[in-house]
Amino acid sequence: MRLSNSLTRTTEEFVPLDPAHIKMYVCGPTVYARPHIGNARSVVVYDVLYRLLSHDFPKVTFVRNITDVDDKINAAAVERGITIQALTSEVTQQFHDDMGALNCLKPTVEPRATEHIAQMIALIERLIAGGFAYAAEGHVLFRVQKDPNYGQLSRRSVKDMIAGARVEVAPYKEYAGDFVLWKPASEKDDASSKFDSPWGIGRPGWHIECSAMSDAHLGTDFDIHGGGADLMFPHHENEIAQSTCGNAGSHYAKYWVHNGFLTVEGEKMSKSLGNFITVHDLLSKGVKGEVIRLALLKTKYNEPLNWTDKLLHDAEKELDYLYRGLAAAEVEAGRSKIEKAMGSQEFNQFFSDTLEPLRDDLNTPAMLASLRQQAQACLPELIAPDELAGSRDRDVHCFMLKQLASVLGLLQQSPEAWFQGEGEDTLWIDVQIEARNAAKKARDFGQADAIRDMLKAKGIILEDSATGTTWRRG
């Protein structure tokens, strides 16, 4: 597998620290608002990477955190007049529901920041002991000038960073670029966002959360760290600084993967710009989760993705086509043949080779093109009768289509359910009739009868005549 590594700015061969156990950490949501489709892009991209790694390696631990303590959360809770606890549990549930609708798998571990305060305090104490951090007026700050490697990820000098970023100038800072590890709570803060610490009652900074949670669940060194490109600086730069300075000898993550932005009319979709559409908005308008998912995967993960209505429309048409391919060959009678074919080493090798586009830095557009080819090979009207020689090949293509799609998290429902969902089960029936005709042409009468019986069991009666086949509900 090859991956674009932001740390080296090159596409590198993926060499795991331990091929028996792959470890990946991805920055998860700050739970103050329902996820928009820009947030969803990040989740779907790493879900595909997780699926591919799980296919290629025996064990994968995927950690994606929940940031449930943050200034934005405090502000949103005050604005809505509810407790932090109520807000974070509501939004966490919405996040799970919406990502579930996009067919995203649960990560192996989903740690919450509020459950790792002790580990954060311990890391801050190690940083202070090593001279990398200092306490001042209830705050603890990281001393960036003490870390000779600071800026290694974003490739900027400390001076440039200060000029380019909105760093807070504060009297308690030794240096303007120093960032917060711990900050004091105010009197009026909700009790569930305040924690006791050696520096008084307060709460952690955002960056220290990920350093502490990745260490708690993956150890100090792991393979892949992912997140949106907006997180490279300061968030990821600061994570590296904290973890490498706080854990002597650690390199932290080996590969840094960043997904590109989802944009609207050229601008990043974000809550603050107000140009966002939530996943929930689309779902409640009747857009299927699978359509949203495919729309997000049509562009390579590290390129910008401009969101338009046409994109959703095209994704829906593409899924119609892929499900037609599945429907054309998916009958019980074909199963045992497929399993036989699957048993052969050749088939496994063929299947594995077909995933190559995905191993090439997660090239989902190329992988989708390959799915289309598999679907095409299933559609009877596109196959010359002499190539039909039994339906074995078609069964294999159908099986391949489904298996390959599963690595993208697509085509996991039955074609019947897909078309019925659109109120178009007639299309599905038509495809079955086409498949039966093709089987008859190939003199595979067992298959043809199996299709007729399968339809009959669903209350659909076929009637053959000289002019063709019609159907009625029996």
Determine if 27 is a binding residue for Zn ion (CB under 5 A).
yes
Please choose, out of 23-31, 117-125, 144-152, 404-412, the segment that lies near Zn ion by the rule CB under 5 A. 23-31
Joined tokens for residue 255? 């590969």
Rounded CA-CA distance 253/236 in Å is: 10
Nearer to ligand AMP, 94 or 374 (CB): 94
Instruction: For residue 163, give the nearest of 151, 149, 148, 146 by alpha carbon.
Output: 151
Binding residues (CB under 6 A) for ligand AMP: these are 27, 29-30, 38-39, 41-42, 227-228, 230-231, 259, 261-262, 268-270
Rounded CA-CA distance 342/400 in Å is: 9
Tell me which residue has its CB nearest to ligand AMP: 228
Nearer to ligand AMP, 228 or 415 (CB): 228
Scanning the structure block, which residue is given the tokens 């840094």? 256
Nearer to ligand AMP, 38 or 107 (CB): 38
Binding site partner of 269, from ligand AMP, Zn ion, none, Cβ cut-off 5-8 A by kind:
ligand AMP
CA distances from 54 to 46, 134, 290, 321, 369 (A): 12, 42, 21, 27, 22
x/- letters, 52..81, toward Zn ion (CB under 5 A): ------------------------------
Nearer to ligand AMP, 263 or 406 (CB): 263
Rounded CA-CA distance 426/9 in Å is: 51
Binding site partner of 270, from Zn ion, ligand AMP, none, Cβ cut-off 5-8 A by kind:
ligand AMP
Q: Provide the minimum distance between the beta carbon of 117 and Zn ion in the complex, in angstroms, as a whole number.
A: 16
144 close to 152: Cβ distance less than 8 angstroms: no
To the nearest 10 degrees (0 to 180), the angle between helices 206-218 and 117-129 is 100
Q: Provide the minimum distance between the beta carbon of 110 and ligand AMP in the complex, in angstroms, as a whole number.
A: 14
Site size toward Zn ion (CB under 5 A) is 2
Binding site partner of 210, from Zn ion, ligand AMP, none, Cβ cut-off 5-8 A by kind:
Zn ion
Nearer to ligand AMP, 33 or 431 (CB): 33
Nearer to ligand AMP, 304 or 343 (CB): 304
260 close to 301: Cβ distance less than 8 angstroms: yes
Nearer to Zn ion, 124 or 367 (CB): 124
Q: Provide the minimum distance between the beta carbon of 268 and ligand AMP in the complex, in angstroms, as a whole number.
A: 5
Binding site partner of 38, from ligand AMP, Zn ion, none, Cβ cut-off 5-8 A by kind:
ligand AMP
Binding site partner of 364, from ligand AMP, Zn ion, none, Cβ cut-off 5-8 A by kind:
none
Rounded CA-CA distance 135/131 in Å is: 11
Q: Provide the minimum distance between the beta carbon of 200 and ligand AMP in the complex, in angstroms, as a whole number.
A: 27
Nearer to Zn ion, 67 or 197 (CB): 67
Q: Provide the minimum distance between the beta carbon of 29 and ligand AMP in the complex, in angstroms, as a whole number.
A: 5
Nearer to Zn ion, 207 or 268 (CB): 207
Determine if 153 is a binding residue for Zn ion (CB under 5 A).
no
Contacts of residue 38, defined as CB under 8 A and 6 or more positions apart, other chains included, come to 228, 261, 262, 268, 269, 270, 276
Q: Provide the minimum distance between the beta carbon of 6 and ligand AMP in the complex, in angstroms, as a whole number.
A: 13
Q: Provide the minimum distance between the beta carbon of 98 and ligand AMP in the complex, in angstroms, as a whole number.
A: 13
x/- letters, 194..213, toward Zn ion (CB under 5 A): ----------------x---
Q: Provide the minimum distance between the beta carbon of 92 and ligand AMP in the complex, in angstroms, as a whole number.
A: 12
Binding site partner of 247, from ligand AMP, Zn ion, none, Cβ cut-off 5-8 A by kind:
none
Nearer to ligand AMP, 30 or 432 (CB): 30
Q: What residue type is 223 in one-letter code?
A: D
Interior CA angle at 177 toward 175 and 183, to 5°? 85
Q: Applying CB under 5 A, which residues contact Zn ion?
A: 27, 210
